[in-house]
Amino acid sequence: MSADRPASGEPVPADDAEALRRTIEEVLLGGGRHWTRHDVVERTGVGPERTARIWRALGFPLVDDDVRAFTDGDVDALRAGERLIAAGIITEESEAMMARALGHHLSRLAEWQVHTLWAWLNRGRETPLTPAELASSATALLSEMELLQQHVWRRHFAAGAGQVIATEQAGASRKETPGAALPPDGAVPPGEGLHVQDMAVGFTDMVGYTRMTRGLDSTELVKVLDLFESLAWDVVAEGRGRVVKTIGDEVLFVCESAVTAADIALELTARAQAEPRLPHVRTGLAHGPVLGRFGDVYGAAVNIAARLTAVARPDTVLVNTALAGELSGQDAYELKVLRPVSVRGYSRLRPVLLRPAAAPRGRSR
């Protein structure tokens, strides 16, 4: 072991840590921090208030005006945003919303990647990485990660474009319904990253998750969460839905049709029942106008689906009357209207129990 290097797990000297930080920035950002906030304003033409608003929206703290905190890449990114505004794709008003969405989703991805790569780079080492070793490894890995991420993004972009084209060709209605707190399609300003569409929304969560976690260590908890997320993502993808996000023990998904959502919910229930390592799940579904905003969804249908999930029993699927109406007449399902319940925001919410239709000769579906 080198006499001037601490063993793994011991604090890295400040000089070494600063050298590693500079190396990371040189590799990832294509250069060091050369510019102050005033320099950035001069080079982009974007005013100081807007640059500060965008920087905060991305999730970074503000720095003093005389601090050289910005790189050539930061300047180029601001200029790219200006070109999008000039093209009418976004507006100055929606710029911060786009920045928040990008910052939120990409920071989560980056955090996972940093911890994973750092553990891999230090695996089996007795001495900390040197800047030269870090630069060599990071440079080799960066191009592969960028290729993978860009391909997956393009794949999802193509899939999303295909769905939009199919919806337009089918003449799907995007009108505001009476009582819905959503703007009609024509009232959504261009460049705001918003759209309104009738959709099916689903929440699925694990029953007794909080109680279960008390008896699990971190390794066991991660295994349960990974298993639940893998099952949910697989079923939703196979059913041609879209996972909006996972929130701890809960997954939020959307579908173009009520039938698709019903099939996904029933399949999630069946697969969770067949998996002894998972607790029971329950699902709430609702159909109605949904506001899409930078990848997330909002509206009464989202709220109702969440409320139905909260009152559903283990291994059951509850739907709202609108979604039940969409399924009416379908031989594949059984629908049973239940008594109204009082939940937050809805004093008389009427759940409908959804079950697969009984198969012939007593066989389950």
What percentage of residues in the chain have a pLDDT greater than 70?
A: 86
Selection from 6, 8, 27, 14 nearest residue 133 by Cα: 27
Give residue for tokens 């440079």.
139
**In this predicted structure, what is the pLDDT of residue 109?**
85
- Rounded to an integer, what distance in angstroms lies between the CA atom of residue 239 and that of residue 147? 28
Bigger pLDDT: 55 or 209? 55
Q: What is the pLDDT of residues 329-338, one digit of tens each?
A: 999 999 999 9
**In this predicted structure, what is the pLDDT of residue 4?**
40
Average pLDDT over residues 334-352: 93
Reported CATH class of domain 185-362: alpha beta
| Predicted confidence band of residue 15 (pLDDT cuts 50, 70, 90) | low
What percentage of residues in the chain have a pLDDT greater than 90?
A: 43
Average pLDDT over residues 212-233: 87
Whether 250 contacts 305, CB under 8 Å: no
| Predicted confidence band of residue 24 (pLDDT cuts 50, 70, 90) | confident
Domain boundaries, the chain: 14-164, 185-362
Average pLDDT over residues 322-335: 95
Residue 18 CB partners (closer than 8 Å, separation 6+): none
7-11, 14-18, 21-25: lowest mean pLDDT where?
Answer: 7-11
Answer yes or no: pTM beyond 0.75.
no
Average pLDDT over residues 44-55: 91
**In this predicted structure, what is the pLDDT of residue 179?**
39
Tell me how far apart the terminal alpha carbons of the chain are, to the nearest angstrom: 64
- Rounded to an integer, what distance in angstroms lies between the CA atom of residue 189 and that of residue 94? 10
Selection from 263, 259, 320, 310 nearest residue 288 by Cα: 320
Q: What is the pLDDT of residues 154-189, one digit of tens each?
A: 998 898 788 777 767 766 444 444 434 444 444 455
